[in-house]
Amino acid sequence: MFRSLSRSLLWRGLVAIGIGIVAIVWPGITIASVVIIFAVAVFLDALSQGTRAFSSDKAGPVAGHLLLAVLDIAAGVTAIVWPSITAIALTLFIAIWAVVTGAVEFAPAFVAIETAGQRAMWGFGGLLSVALGAVLFARPDVGAVSLAEVFGLFSLCYGIWTLVLAAGAHQTGSKVDSILGSHA
């Protein structure tokens, strides 16, 4: 069991490190990949919506699902025809998410139930998220490249962490094997 786990973690870590290197060295390829993944996702959702439309007995859901399928197809075609606009739109979506999340996280900073330290952490986290959103709104073109590079750094760190876990699982497996081997 531990050999299988350590091997799985080893491969996962190596793939994450490879993805991290590609994302850092070639952020444009990373952005293009995200746009392609988005296009594939919306085309698959269009297929799903079309299937739902024709499996319903009522006209209302049919029209709604068909409308969603058409919107999905339009989004997919837009992503393929204008990938730079799609990358900027996705970056702006992340910016909106960051601002909304930051505002929601900032609110507990003013709740008297929390300790001062907890309120400070909620406030700091909320402000940090709002700041990220503001920066992405200010320069979504640069923000997309920055997000790709941050993703690359995350993947590198995750890959290294996973390799450490793989080594630990391998070492634990070796110990278990030696203990079981001595008792057999």
Per-block mean pLDDT, blocks of 10 residues, the chain (184 long):
79 92 92 92 93 78 88 94 91 91 86 78 87 87 86 88 86 78 66
Q: What is the pLDDT of residue 48?
A: 93
pLDDT at 122: 83
Q: How far apart are CA 161 and CA 9, in angstroms?
A: 10
The DSSP letter of residue 56 is -
Q: Contact at 8 Å (CB) between 29 and 152?
A: no
Q: Which residues of 111-138 are buried (b: 16+ CB within 10 A; e: fewer)?
A: eeeeeeeebeebbebbeebbebbeebee
Provide the residue ranges of all domains of the chain, joining segments of one domain with +.
Answer: 2-31+83-179
- Do 133 and 146 meet the contact criterion of CB atoms below 8 Å apart? no
Using an 8 Å Cβ cutoff, are 130 and 98 in contact?
yes
